[in-house]
Structure 1
Amino acid sequence: MNKKIAVLLGGTSSEREISIKSGRAVLKSLLKSGFQAYPIDLQSYSIIQLKKETFDKAYIALHGKGGEDGSIQGVLEYLKIPYTGSGIMASSISIDKFRTKLLWKSIDLLTVPDIYITKKNKASLYFSERQKILELGLPILVKPNSQGSSIGITLVSSIEEIDSAIQKAFKYDDNILIEKFIEGKEYTVSILNNQVLPSIRISTKHYFYDYNAKYKSSSTQYFCPSGLNITQEKELKKIVISAWKILGCTGCGRIDVILDQENKFWLLEVNTIPGMTKRSLLPISAQEVGISFDELVLLILETSI
């Protein structure tokens, strides 16, 4: 055993707080399992030092930009240090919601209709893009293109709210997505080493599963088993594994979907470094098939690249 593991956490993204919680939970578990595990906060630590300090592996518990986007993965490959999660290419594509959806569309998977806007073409919004937004129909979701944890997202129900929602999203990213809001039941499906774990149905009193519903609200409920019938569960697994493989993802991750009122599954987004906090969804799915939190951490470590 006695391997030296760097648990990469914190960082500088807007998801820093969640990352620290995930990293601490993973660290505690690795120490319990007998590893020499150390918390490495990349806000104040140069990743190049990992090689000098003879770490055997890196467990990535970073969320968002600078951790989930392929950049850290690239440095770790240069240093020849094995790491958890997806590789450089899959990570960089998966954090980009727009390009992820392009790949999904290429194999005929259902994705929510959207409009992609960059800061460069922001000026044209009041002409051609504005008409396209109206064609989507209200309500719509305005979100940063490369951001997780529902940060910077606004549900827009009237034309008057569009401009402020766009300005808010641009605070977090130079590119944003405006998506048609599909009413239905939200599900998330975890994947571990190409095995699709049981789906979870998310029930929230919020109008959609926003940041507060994810991390603060005590009324948010998670159902696993999700209540889908056998046929639906089978269909969802097929969709999810196709969505996972076309992106080239490896290790573990999570894909969010919504089931509309006509019983169609729509893909929303993928998360290549799922949270590992007490409220996180991957551990809930794993528990349903008899995998404890400590076993899950070890399985993720074993799938390292």
Structure 2
Amino acid sequence: MHAVHKEDDFPSAMMGCFSYSDEALIESFVEGRDIAVGVVDLGDGPTALPPVEIAPLHGDYDYAARYNPGATRWTVPAAMSEPVADRVAELAVQVHKTLGLGSMSRIDMIVDDAGGIQVLEANVAPGTTETSLLPMAIEAAGLDFGETLATMVRQALARA
């Protein structure tokens, strides 16, 4: 993924894209704050976790910013008004349910300065590393990460 902020950046972005595939998806850039909302189902239905704001310290939130500790600042819970926080939580659960997702997901969104929300994607297998967002949100919700995963495993075994 390459964000193109000025016309001169377009050719190199396309070269990078075509080094991976013969096809490119070009979308309008959505300006705003990058927010991730984890959703977990621990037996009482899908519940949104506190939102995580993603702010790379330099440039865009790319692979290096994502996986190199210290390259990004994560704020959890994200600082936002209560109505916007309620809406991102509602949207995350709605997306999770609409897609028929299981025990966990992460819904990525952009929130603009006026509180408008654009859902970008649903991640059905959120990471569990030291720079992963779902563990941060689970901890911010006051849950134990290991016990949360153990509950999901027990539920999966019961369904099997």
- What TM-score, normalized to structure 1? 0.47
Contact 1:283 1:296 in 2 (8 A): no
Whole-Å Cα distance in 1 between the matches of residues 58 and 120 of structure 2? 18
CA contact (8 A) 2:48 2:90 kept: no
> Is the Cα contact below 8 Å between 2:106 and 2:134 reproduced in 1?
yes
Q: d(CA) in 2 for partners of 1:260 and 1:245?
A: 24
Counterpart residue type for residue 231 of structure 1: P
Pick one of 40, 60, 74 that aligns with 1:208.
60
- Residue of structure 2 equivalent to 1:257: 109
Tell me how far apart the structure 1 counterparts of residues 32 and 115 of structure 2 sit (CA, whole Å).
Answer: 9
Q: CA RMSD in A?
A: 1.9
Change (3 A) 1:174 1:191: farther
Residue 169 of structure 1 aligns with which residue? 17
AA partner of residue 185 (structure 1): R
Distance 2:102 2:132 in 1: 19
The corresponding residue for 1:183 is 31
Of 156, 160, 163 in structure 1, the residue corresponding to residue 4 of structure 2 is 156
The 5 A counterparts of 1:89-108 are none
Any stretches of 5+ residues in structure 2 without a counterpart?
A: none
* Alpha-carbon distance in structure 2 between the residues aligned to 1:261 and 1:253: 25
Question: Which one has a bigger Cα radius of gyration?
Answer: 1
**Quick one: distance in 2 between partners of 1:242 and 1:183?**
23
Q: 1:276/1:217 Cα in 2 relative to 1: closer, same or farther (>3 Å)? A: closer
Distance (whole Å) between structure 1 residues aligned to residue 151 and residue 20 of structure 2 = 33
1:169 Cα deviation after fit: 1.9
Per the alignment, in what secondary structure is the counterpart of residue 102 of structure 2?
Answer: coil
Q: Which has the higher contact order (CA 8 A, sep 6+)?
A: 2
For the residues of structure 2 that align with 1:286 and 1:181, how far apart are their CA atoms? Answer: 30
> Could you tell me the percent identity over the aligned residues?
29
Displacement of 1:231: 1.1
1:276 corresponds to:
128
Of the three residues 126, 138, 151, the one matched with 1:286 is 138
CA deviation map 1:162-204 (0-9, x unaligned): 2332232233345432121122111100011111111111122
Distance 1:174 1:161, change over 3 A: same
* TM-aligned CA deviation for residue 293 of structure 1: 2.2
Q: C-alpha separation between the residues in 1 aligned to 2:66 and 2:96? A: 23
Change (3 A) 1:167 1:299: farther
Closer, same or farther: CA 176–247 of 1 in aligned 2, 3 Å: farther
The residue matched to 1:154 in structure 2 has which SS? coil
